[in-house]
Structure 1
């Protein structure tokens, strides 16, 4: 191995050592929790390849999560985590399931977790990882007891906020040093990982790149849509009226997205005609996408289903093994550190 590249791997190891030690992994690469995609097979594959797989609990019941953790443990002896939605009506039971299985890390997403939930996770022997979309909340979560943070930019797939990953990193990384911080959103190559590590991140979270892994159970048509897509194809859902708020979701533009806009106009017109009250109208709009993600991921309905994807989808060129994806990311990150070393040595 070229000496400069060898140094690059060594520098990479130093740069994400804190993240690796926190996760208990070879590489500080977390798998993004993607509903219907981040299940036992992909999660175990990520962990077995040296990364940190994360089960997407989503709307699972306690019994389903219990079975999923058990099945994942049968496929890997390496550390993995579970992502729980804070608004889930069975959140307390789901936390108990994680703790009973001695899951080492619980990721809390989809809202601001309570101090009590974080405390229960920590007292149960697990680490609590929380999402922080702004610096003020990041500081509050650290004070509340979060063991690590994930900052995710709008380039990510699924439900997103309004700020880009690069801006969030500049706003948050210099000021949160008490706990490890993992950067997410639009990360498709190792060079990006190396950049955020140099800015102070302890690691990164990657989702979209893993959708087309051989171990991913996503429908072949779902994977084909990723491979064919460009970054500009991954767009956020459109809100046609502020009175009827829509939580932005980034997905590939398709007929379903167009139908959603038509549905909003239709429902709003019926509301204004006095055919339904405001709450009913808002609920009908909210329920439009119910089951749409499963139809796309599992059934392969990529025309009318919700094909959630981050803007890094343009970097997904083919199906690969999970191990190859991770090794590619690691090699790119190490090479970037190597190039950085050459530049410093030859100003």
Structure 2
């Protein structure tokens, strides 16, 4: 973990996953101030909004923090320029392969580049393309997920890459003993989201947090794709009325498609638009029945609201005890 902490400039190599509407100035600064590494979730923000958010975060902490940018954002290069203006130390690229020139553009600003690697082959390609570190995230994570579990990805990727490269592990991590096991396999650190989403400093609605406290691991389910013609990006969230209605909506649209009442483009748009604003409804407005309550399977280990500093201290205590026993 010393390697990871030195790279991030933090006391511990515990990153906070970038969660839209949750990983904003309050949570990010609290995590960095507590010795972890906060990451702003840019999501669909405009360059102007990101500019404001970075400035507001800098007003709350003098510790390093990162910014997560979505590779398919239409204004990606403008967002990179905003990060450069504020001398952001680390940029995390998520949501697909970085477009041509983006890694170089970030590195020209002096920032470090962290990329998500869903497979060993892509991990090697990203490192060759200039990525300074990788995050490998398993399907147990909340939000947008890949198809492979964290434990399998770790076994596949860490032995091959961790000796010579910085690899952070994410997805389904809720306790320090799990962190210890990945460190023993060569990881430089870990990334957690679900534990931090319900922290005291998180601006998430009280009802959003209560949904976490009530939930078990099996209630954090991946979205179902009913018809292969209607692409659904897998997202892990708590099962609720909204997830059930989404399945019904897919069936309804597939029938319209079969009947020739809508064309393929319109059908796919209807599916895409269904969840528009659903995460904000849950996180900010507290509509946990109809909104998208994104959560990882470690949600079963989240039982109460705790300050970020206590969460990090607890994880590190469990991790150190496990390593001492080993």
Q: TM-score range by the shorter chain?
A: over 0.9
Superposed displacement of residue 201, structure 1? 0.3
Whether 2:266 is the aligned partner of 1:280: answer yes
Superposed displacement of residue 32, structure 1? 0.5
- Specify the alignment match of 1:296 in structure 2: 282
- Specify the alignment match of 1:35 in structure 2: 20
Alignment of 1:176-191 (within 5 A): 176=161, 177-191=163-177
Superposed displacement of residue 178, structure 1? 3.2
CA–CA distance in 2 between the matches of 1:67 and 1:245? 34
What are the superposed Cα offsets for residues 143-181 of structure 1, whole Å, 9 maximum, x if unpaired?
Answer: 000000000000000000000000000000111133210
Scaled by the length of structure 1, the TM-score of the pair is 0.93
CA–CA distance in 1 between the matches of 2:73 and 2:242? 26
Q: Over the residues paired in the alignment, what is the CA RMSD in angstroms?
A: 0.6
Alignment of 1:1-347 (within 5 A): 16-176=1-161, 177-340=163-326
Superposed displacement of residue 244, structure 1? 1.1
Superposed displacement of residue 114, structure 1? 2.7
Task: State the SS of the aligned residue for 1:173.
Answer: helix
Does the 8 Å contact 1:19/1:28 carry over to 2?
Answer: yes
Does the 8 Å contact 1:115/1:144 carry over to 2?
Answer: no
Task: State the SS of the aligned residue for 2:236.
Answer: strand
- Specify the alignment match of 1:8 in structure 2: none
Task: State the SS of the aligned residue for 2:115.
Answer: strand
Superposed displacement of residue 115, structure 1? 4.3
The gaps in structure 1 that reach 5 residues or longer are 1-15, 341-347
| Higher RCO (C-alpha 8 Å, min separation 6) | 1
Which stretches of structure 1, 4 residues or longer, exceed 2 Å deviation after superposition? none
CA–CA distance in 2 between the matches of 1:95 and 1:280? 33
Over alpha carbons, which structure has the higher Rg?
1
**How many matched pairs?**
325
The gaps in structure 2 that reach 5 residues or longer are none
